Chain A
Amino acid sequence: MAEFKRIFIVGATSAIAEHCARLWVQKAPVEITLIGRDQARLERVAQDLLVRGPQVRAHAVTADFLSADAIEKIVQDTVGDGAVDLVLIAHGILPDQQACQDDLGACRQALEITAVSPALFAEAFAKRMARAGTGTLGIISSVAGDRGRKSNYVYGAAKGLLTRYAQGMQHRFAGSGVKVVLIKPGPTDTPMTAKFKDQGTKLIPVEVAAAQIVSGMEKGSPVVYVTGIWQIIMLVIRHLPRFIFNKMDL
């Protein structure tokens, strides 16, 4: 009997996560747990994976993403006592910056779903991975988290939190069997960015983003920029002196 890899995806209906899952099920026998908020949509994703992979066991489960207790419980229930091979934390929303400035409720919600909730999930999985001493935890942040910009700093700050969180976890697990991979996609072609596409922004095809994430997690690279060019772009943006940066319309 083949060994089934155990994979957990939080935010499994997001386009990037779904494409990563497609690649994983084609590579090896997997038992995959899809965690999200809409049971029926998760089941449609699971159904697809069952056809794509020759040997797949798929589970679709929903949770309240904003409750610490619910997060602790769902991770406990799905992981149980077994070891975990791969975890991908992929959820988040791209809020309208102006709406967040106008309405603190919207601002808070965006921060909670894009920063606090993924951090809690990461912590809950990390606890189990630490115990087992193995596993790879991938956290999807964003190049937008590298420097705050007026056009999207609510999103950027949320992703910035995840970036620091992952760095801290990397420090915590240094020298152990647990790997934490910080993933920073540039603008990717997903439903979340559809309006930018209409405005003519060049977006990264979602299959390309997924392939780079999957290979980055396989290698256990500490940071995966998708695509690599964004590493250079963000290096420049991070180091622009403030007096120049503040004059730019970004």
Chain B
Amino acid sequence: MALVSSWGRLGHWEHEVLALTDREQAGGQISLRRPGLAYGLGRSYGDVCLNPGGWLWRTAALDRFISFDPNTGILVCEAGVLLRDIQRLFIPRSWMLPVTPGTLLVTVGGAIANDVHGKNHHVRGTFGEYVRRLTLVRTDGEIIECGPDLKADWFAATVGGLGLTGLILTAELQLHPTTGPWIDCETIPYYSLSDFFDLSSASEAGWEYTMSWFDCLRGDSGRGIFFRGNPAEAGTRPEPKTRERAVPLTPPCSLVNRLTLRLFNDLYFNVNKRRNRRGLVHYQPFFYPLDHLQEWNRIYGPRGFFQYQSVVPPEHSREAVQAMLGEISSSGEGSFLAVLKSFGDRPPAGMLSFPRAGVTLALDFPNRGEGTLKLFQRLDAIVAQAGGRLYPAKDARMPPALFRQGYPRLGEFSSYRDPGISSALARRLMES
């Protein structure tokens, strides 16, 4: 038995852990170790990657490439390959991942199972849209090859399927041509929520990457920094040196409190306000600003933290986001990172894919127990009212009713589940 936690560090739970190392043997290994759940790098915040009392099948050592075609950009690899390794190897060869989340320390399997999105959803959609084939192995030994045009129902269940349809062994990905590692970026300070919406809609046509940081301690009269970027033309600049740092210890209490938040937000706003408004930025700090600070999740102290990420449809997004920010500023539970981004209107790749047209708001809150959970209930009510939903990859506490309401294809999804697989999230939200 080993104690395992996820990125939010809300607790450590006993699991039996099996490290998968060879794709030919993995099917046999998991069939003997049930009920289990695939675990990539545990970069999910809540309980989607946990299975207390049962098995975890670690996939990080299933990290072999299988083939790459430099003419078409088609890459076949095992599901434990890190997005970091794909970017490092292929950007110098003029190919990159079309869609990545805000960290590269994620496995291909984890990116598929949560159907992750990045800063360019309005142009490129989700990670799952670039998966051409995947091999799924079920705990009864059955192997299912599927893709958007082959057993499309299995594919739609597995993309965004929260690891519950089987173990993804390998995937065939379509990479995107790139001119190099530089992003032509613009940083724009703004002073109200309504400015955010204006900037967002004005930027969508001409900019591949958009996202925004918002100071949610100020509620209505809020301020923020809007970032937008496009791939830059091939340049001859040398790669910058990146230095990795780590938060060495978990402090005895959370370093995130009202005072530090205010300081942080003031600092962040003022530094970015004065920054060069337009310039070239290397893709790493642009896409993955936190990756050089390893284990930053420790700053929240031993009780961990929650992320609350919602999306609400366009017709209600202004009022809903406004109402959520209002609740947060009046609750006194500030958030370090309030990230706002508009999603485009695209058909989802998976039955349970999170992104949908509208605005997504992501917030981190230190776990202060009752008070934090009470705030979430008020936010839930706003999300439900607006017809929105929460992101399971980030969730540790949403009520089952909100999940059912947000994901109408849940019933259909159930018939694709692997009975040998379970997770804390499945038991909490799907009753098994």
Contact = CB atoms under 8 A, between A and B. Distances in A.
Interface in A51-94: 51-52, 54
Nearest to B92: A54
Nearest to B64: A48
B1 A48 contact: no
Contact of A197 (B2, B24, B67, B77): B2
Contacts of B77: 51
A151 interface: no
B19 A45 contact: no
Nearest to B4: A198
A198 B2 contact: yes
Interface of A: 15, 26, 40-41, 44-45, 47-48, 51-52, 54, 191, 194, 197-198, 200
A198 B67 CA distance: 33
Given A197-B2, A198-B1, A198-B2, A191 B19 contact: yes
Nearest to A38: B22
Contact of A52 (B17, B21, B23, B89): B89
Interface in B1-38: 1-3, 17, 19, 21-24
Interface string B55-67: 0000001001111
21 contacts: A15-B61, A26-B89, A40-B24, A41-B22, A41-B24, A44-B22, A44-B24, A45-B64, A47-B65, A48-B64, A51-B65, A51-B66, A51-B67, A51-B68, A51-B77, A52-B65, A191-B61, A194-B17, A194-B19, A198-B2, A198-B17
Contact of A191 (B21, B23, B89): B21
Given A194-B19, A198-B1, 6 more contacts: A41-B24, A44-B23, A51-B68, A51-B89, A54-B93, A191-B61
> What's the interface size class on B, roughly?
10 to 19
A197 to B, nearest CB: 7
Contact of A47 (B2, B24, B67, B93): B67
A138 B123 CA distance: 50
B396 to A, nearest CB: 24
B154 to A, nearest CB: 25
Nearest to B58: A194
B239 to A, nearest CB: 15
B215 to A, nearest CB: 37
Contacts of A51: 65-68, 75, 77, 89
Nearest to A49: B65
Contact of B65 (A48, A54, A197): A48
Q: Which among B23, B64, B89 has the highest number of chain A CB atoms within 10 Å?
A: B64
A66 B99 CA distance: 49
Given A52-B89, A198-B1, A47 B64 contact: yes
A98 B371 CA distance: 53
B61 A47 contact: no
B40 to A, nearest CB: 16
B13 to A, nearest CB: 14
B248 to A, nearest CB: 13
Interface string B258-288: 0000000000000000000000000000000
Q: Which among B61, B75, B77 has the highest number of chain A CB atoms within 10 Å?
A: B61
Contacts of B65: 47-48, 51-52
A44 B65 CA distance: 9
A44 B64 contact: yes
Q: Which among B23, B65, B93 has the highest number of chain A CB atoms within 10 Å?
A: B65
Contacts of B17: 194, 197-198
Nearest to B77: A51
Contacts of A200: 2-3
A197 B1 CA distance: 10
A48 B2 contact: no
A225 B134 CA distance: 41
B24 A48 contact: no
Contacts of A15: 21, 61
A7 B3 CA distance: 40
B336 to A, nearest CB: 28
Nearest to A47: B66
Interface string B82-104: 00000001000100000000000
A197 B21 CA distance: 16
A44 B77 CA distance: 11
Nearest to A53: B89
For the complex of A and B, list the 7 residue pairs with the smallest distance between their C-beta atoms, beginning with the closest: A51-B65, A48-B64, A198-B2, A51-B68, A48-B65, A191-B21, A194-B19
Contacts of A198: 1-2, 17
Contacts of B1: 198
Contacts of A197: 2, 17
A44 B24 CA distance: 10
A40 B65 CA distance: 15
Nearest to A198: B2
Contacts of A41: 22, 24
Interface string B38-71: 0000000000000000000000010011111000
Nearest to B70: A54
A197 B19 CA distance: 11
A48 B61 contact: no
A20 to B, nearest CB: 15
A198 B2 CA distance: 5
Contacts of A40: 24
A15 B70 CA distance: 28
A227 B21 CA distance: 24
